[in-house]
Chain A
Amino acid sequence: MIQKTLLTPDQLAENFADLHAAYPRDEAVTESSRCLFCFDAPCTRACPTHIDVPRFIRQILHDNMAGAAETIFSENIFGGSCARACPTEVLCEGACVDNTLLNEPVQIGRLQRYATDSTPASFTPGPVTGKRIAVVGSGPAGLSCAYTLRRLGHAVTVFEASDIAGGLNTLGIAAYKITTEFSLSEIDAIQAMDIEIRLGEYVDAVRLEELRASYDAVFLGIGLGPTANLEIPGEDLGGVTEALEFIAQTHTGPFEECEVGQNVVVIGAGNTAIDVATEAVRLGAENVLIVYRRTSHEMSAFAYEYELAKADGVKFEWLVRPIKFLGENGVLSGLRLQRLELVGEGRGAMLQVIPDSTFDIACDMAIKSLGQVALEPFLSEAADLQLEGGKVGIDASTGATGVDGLFSGGDCTNKGAEIVDAVQDGKIAAFGIDVYLGGLGSL
């Protein structure tokens, strides 16, 4: 039965405590001293926002915390969120040469957190250019664009459909990585740069045209839509839910109010599925099972996420596909699955159903975690947007869409990547917009 978590507030606080605790000073300095200060550093190149990693680490080492924070924020205004939630294993830390030398990268993410925690971001906007830009969506893409434009001296207004700012950065990231309070504090620092965020302002196709007419340029950072449906019987049973909703409850209310089943099945094996599964465990579910069509080799979850789930006691059922949600009196009681086999080699291997392999798993909660769909209705109605397989098509070096004065970036242009990619997209588009407006801005 789905019910409010049975865990005590203390247990919940412990379960949702930071995955990686903040460094005390001495630890940060000792860790910093491991950095070799590489030239044309691989970590900096591997960071999508190209933060000068050895530079900020050296600034930590030499007690220049204001400088360290500035190094980070000048490239990535979500430096604090990224420090907590970036998949560093495949980005900066994956590239760190200490992997080769010592089999252990410099803990760049944790050092970045130490630096960004020490000094809040603050920048003086550049000289007024007289240009006004509308930003649609207050996720990392939109706010990174807004921030960069503002630094360049342009006036920016952000339109956000939701009544809470930050997009998935506030509502979608596992709470043991980024707390709601932290995400909102980062947004406060952005607003303090004289950037207006208008909440509860849904921009439809008509409004978009109005914005294009009344602003000098518009940036679209609307992210993606809801989690994809499975299109199998029983999806409307009570107890069948989806990843975003399940995670959002940990951000919109206290943990004590969060609902969770006792026997939870998570469908999918991407990073979202892992977040969902580990959060279900942390909310007190007794059994959590991830079911996935392929195997651990093909899953899109990062290796460290997989390890986290295993350490949390999450079980896995590979090579299966759900065919029906089973229910009693409108309430979920189980999931019917079919076994599959891989025919062929590698990524190109085909999945085939194994005849007569149907089996049922009892569960009181099923969470669809298949990845998000594009905001099709909006996109198809909106002015001549070029859609490429559900993505908004853009020029990668400027963020320009095919539509005059309309720029875009973030999840809606890449079908879902990381916070840090959205931040970089927003930054690139800001410079693209500045050039489009005549290059009046100055940093």
Chain B
Amino acid sequence: MAGWGLYNTLTDSSVQKPDLTTTLAGIRSPNPFWLASAPPTNSAYQICRAFEAGWGGAVWKTIGHDPIVNVSSRYGSIDYDGRKMMGFNNIELITDRTLETNLEEIADVKKKFPDHALVVSLMVESTRAAWHDVVKRTEDTGCDGLELNFGCPHGMSERGMGSAVGQVPEYTQMVTEWVKEIAQTPVLIKLTPNVADIRYIARAAKAGGADGLSLINTINSIMGIDLDSFNPKPHVAGRGSHGGYCGPAVKPIALNMVQQLADDPEVGLPLSGMGGVQAWQDAIEFMLLGAGNVQVCTAVMHYGFRIVEHLISGLENWMASKNYAQTSDFVGLSAGKLGDWADLDLGYKVVAEIDQETCIHCGLCYIACEDGAHQSIDMTRIEDSTISSDDPSLPSFLSGGQTVFAGVGDGYANRFDINQETCVGCNLCSLVCPVSTCITMVEKESAIPSITWRIYQEKLQSGKIERIMPPDHV
């Protein structure tokens, strides 16, 4: 990933900055970074601060006809070996403020920030009249679009709203149709990931006339159990309820769903991607898989609106290094690179290679391959008497008249070598290696000719190919 340094030239006014403006389902935004409908978009105060900080758009916290009553506490999180909030969950409902207050504030914000994208998330009782009423009143604020919340997985679904709608293609289509009957602005449908195959719901939304899709909403989850009180996390007077999971940990699930929709010829709608966007790289990944923009919630709840500066600067530098002038130059470039396993090339082979100069001798690759993969790394001893004092991988220093080598104990260091004959090219060692450039996977001639599994099956049946034999080595 070298080359972003080139963008230093941007300070030179003769070089054109990439244009981050995006238009999604007809909604224009100064950049592809929107706040997702959630606590950071609760109020005019917050959204104004967010727009001032640099956010391109915001989806107002879901509003409805009657203010709900929330519980306390509401959030739980998963920490991972010392880092906080790898994953986040909530049992909060939609807005707890009145419809009138929300609508007034939406109108104010829109007046103050005419060029920013202000979309309003809606969720009301599943009747045509209720939806018609809320759509009309919301659009009177001057907002740029509507996002129908068919995704909230807790509380609202028990009242026949949220994911209760979004899990049933027929309901999704029906409510979308009601809204489209009178909506003047673009209508996005926000999808729940809590379904077996998200494509069916997306197709239903399309059939109902949706202008675009937002995904993913949060995933059904229980964050954990307190080992002393046995209470769930979070708990309300000792009881819990499954909540909605989001944050960095859910990104791979969200990416998969975005790709599924981007690549589905029956969907063909603009996508607003979200789920775990923290860094600019995450945003680009969503966009490469077909999202026209991204929405962010957890990262803002963790660090505040200021993270948008990093998102923008990272995206700009990356686009400049790739010579992309606008985001549409790269949206969707990777969507077609995914598909069925059956279409993967069985004759493609990589093996691991260790750069001994940068290896720090931690042994993690060895034990991972030995116990968790294919026993393809050899461990041998290097006696300390044979180590040169300028070996970069075993640095040394003098203390109290003795030479101390990092990586050496009891008179030796371990050396690790890949047995490339038996390595299956699974990546595991390179994934666990703490040195980013130490283990690389290199292409190697395979004994199997280039062929996909699908074609292999066809040829096997027609007797045009020999069966591929299992490897000698596990």
From known contacts A40-B414, A101-B360, infer whether A95 and B407 are also in contact, taking CB-CB under 8 Å: yes
A46 at the B interface (CB under 8 A): yes
Residues of B within 8 A of A87 (CB): 399-400
A80 to B169, CA, bound (A): 64
Q: How many whole Å from B95's CB to the nearest CB in chain A?
A: 35
Q: Are B414 and A99 in contact (CB under 8 A)?
A: no
Are B367 and A39 in contact (CB-based, < 8 A)?
yes
Q: Are B364 and A95 in contact (CB under 8 A)?
A: no
- Selected contact of B363 from candidates A30, A40, A96, A299, CB within 8 Å: A40
Annotate B387-419 by CB proximity to A: 1 below 8 A, 0 otherwise. Answer: 000000111011111101111111011100000
Specify which chain A residues have a CB less than 8 angstroms from the CB of B379 in the assembled complex: 40
Within 8 A of A (CB), among B141-176: none
State whether B82 touches A61 (Cβ < 8 A). Answer: yes
Q: Which residues of A contact B362 (CB under 8 A)?
A: 36, 38-39, 97
Contacts of B397 in A (CB 8 A): 94, 303
Contact of B83 with A by CB under 8 A: yes
Complex: chain B residue closest to A48, CB-CB: B410
A46→B394 contact, CB < 8 A: no
Residues of A within 8 A of B304 (CB): none
Instruction: Name the residue in B366, B400, B402, B434 with the highest tally of chain A Cβ atoms < 10 Å from its Cβ.
Output: B400
Taking CB atoms, residues of chain A closer than 8 Å to B82 are 29-30, 32-33, 61
In the complex, the chain A residue whose C-beta lies closest to that of B413 is: A42
Contact with B409, one of A37, A44, A298, A301 (Cβ below 8 angstroms): A44
CB-defined contacts of A347 to chain B, threshold 8 Å? 401
B404 and A95 contact, CB distance less than 8 A: yes
Q: Nearest chain B CB to A163's CB is how many angstroms away?
A: 33
CB atoms of A97 and B406 under 8 A apart:
yes
Which single member of A33, A36, A38, A300 contacts B400 (CB below 8 Å)?
A: A300
Closest chain-B Cβ to A64's Cβ sits at a distance in Å of 11
Q: Which residues of B contact A179 (CB under 8 A)?
A: none
Distance in angstroms from B386 CB to nearest chain A CB is: 16
Q: Report the Cα distance A301→B82, complex, angstroms.
A: 36
| Interface: A23 (CB within 8 A) | no
Interface centre among A61, A95, A96 (most CB of B within 10 A): A95
Please encode chain A, from 292 to 310, with 1 for each CB lying within 8 Å of some chain B CB and 0 for all others: 0000011111111100000
The answer to whether A97 touches B81 (Cβ under 8 A) is no
Distance, CA A105 to CA B398, complexed state (A)? 16
Q: Verify if B435 is at the interface (C-beta below 8 Å from A).
A: yes
Residues of the A chain whose Cβ atoms lie less than 8 Å from the Cβ of B363: 38-41
A271 in contact with B407 (CB, 8 Å): no
Q: Is the CB of B434 within 8 A of A101?
A: yes
Task: Please measure, in the bound complex, the distance between the C-alpha atom of A46 and the C-alpha atom of B414, giving whole angstroms.
Answer: 13
Q: Please tell me if the beta carbons of A61 and B434 are within 8 angstroms of each other in the complex.
A: no
Considering the complex, give the chain B residue whose CB is closest to the CB of A38. B362
B394 in contact with A43 (CB, 8 Å): no
B361 at the interface (CB under 8 A from A): yes
Interfacial chain A residues near B409, Cβ < 8 Å: 41-47, 92, 95
On whether the beta carbons of A94 and B404 are closer than 8 Å, the reply is: yes
A347 to B400, CA, bound (A): 13
Closest B residue by C-beta to A62: B81
How far is B272's CA from A376's CA once the two chains are assembled, in angstroms? 84
CA distance A42 to B366 in the complex (A): 14
Which parts of A326-353 form the interface with B (CB within 8 Å)? Answer: 347
With A29-B82, A39-B362 as contacts: A300 and B401 at CB distance below 8 Å: yes
Q: Say yes or no: A299-B395 contact (C-beta < 8 A), given A95-B407, A100-B360.
A: no
Q: Which residue of the partner chain A has the closest CB to B392?
A: A100
Taking the closest CB of chain B, its distance from the CB of A416, in whole angstroms, is 13
**Per-residue interface assignment for chain A, residues 81 to 110, with 1 indicating a CB less than 8 Å from any chain B CB and 0 otherwise:** 000000101101011110111000100000
Per the bound structure, the CA–CA distance linking A95 and B362 in Å amounts to 11
* 8 Å CB contact of A33 from B81, B393, B399, B402: B81
Q: Which residues of A contact B398 (CB under 8 A)?
A: 297, 303
Known: A33-B81, A99-B395. A271 touches B404 (CB 8 A): no
If A33-B83, A39-B366 touch, does A97 touch B400 (CB 8 Å cutoff)?
no
Residues 366-406 of A, flagged 1 when their CB comes within 8 A of B and 0 if not, give: 00000000000000000000000000000000000000000
Report A100 CB to chain B, min CB distance, Å.
4
Query: Chain B residues with Cβ under 8 A from A33's Cβ?
Result: 81-83
Known: A40-B414, A90-B402, A100-B395. A95 touches B360 (CB 8 A): no
Nearest-neighbour CB distance to chain A for B366, whole angstroms, equals 6
Report the bound CA distance from A38 to B400 in whole Å: 27
B399 x A304 contact (CB < 8 A): yes
CB pairs A–B below 8 angstroms (14 shown): A33-B81, A33-B83, A36-B362, A36-B434, A38-B363, A39-B363, A39-B367, A42-B406, A42-B407, A94-B397, A97-B407, A99-B395, A99-B406, A303-B399
- Which 3 pairs between the two chains have the least Cβ-Cβ distance? A45-B409, A33-B82, A39-B363
Q: A36-B362, A89-B404, A97-B360 are in contact. List 6 more A-B contacts (CB 8 A).
A: A30-B82, A41-B409, A42-B408, A42-B413, A46-B410, A303-B399
Q: Which residues of A contact B (CB under 8 A)?
A: 29-30, 32-33, 36-47, 61, 87, 89-90, 92, 94-97, 99-101, 105, 271, 297-305, 347
